[in-house]
Amino acid sequence: MINRYPHELNIGDVYLSPFVIVLFLAFILAIITTLILNRLKLSRYFFATSYVFVAIMVLYILLIDHFWIKF
């Protein structure tokens, strides 16, 4: 039986868990989202912006896991 989802990613003879790639992508997307929120001055409506950053990152992790890379 062939597994459709990767267990490890090979980048230059270094094996990485797909979760590392998902964390990196979620971090970059969360930074872009917070920059957009700051540019539009919507971040002033949040009480603790660091918690909002972590929440946005978790949402991106869940979305990437559900739609793109299964880990």
Indicate the pLDDT class of residue 58, thresholds 50, 70 and 90.
very high
Closest Cα partner for 33 from 50, 57, 4?
A: 57
pLDDT digits (tens, 9 = 90+) for 32-56: 999 999 999 999 999 999 999 999 9
Q: Rounded distance, CA 16 to CA 54, Å?
A: 23
Q: What is the pTM of this model?
A: 0.79
Q: Are 62 and 9 in contact (CB under 8 A)?
A: no
pLDDT digits (tens, 9 = 90+) for 5-41: 657 777 787 888 888 888 999 999 999 999 999 999 9
Q: Rounded distance, CA 39 to CA 10, Å?
A: 37
The region that residue 15 occupies, defined by phi over 0 for left and psi between -120 and 50 for alpha, beta otherwise, is: beta
pLDDT score for 44? 92
pLDDT score for 5? 62
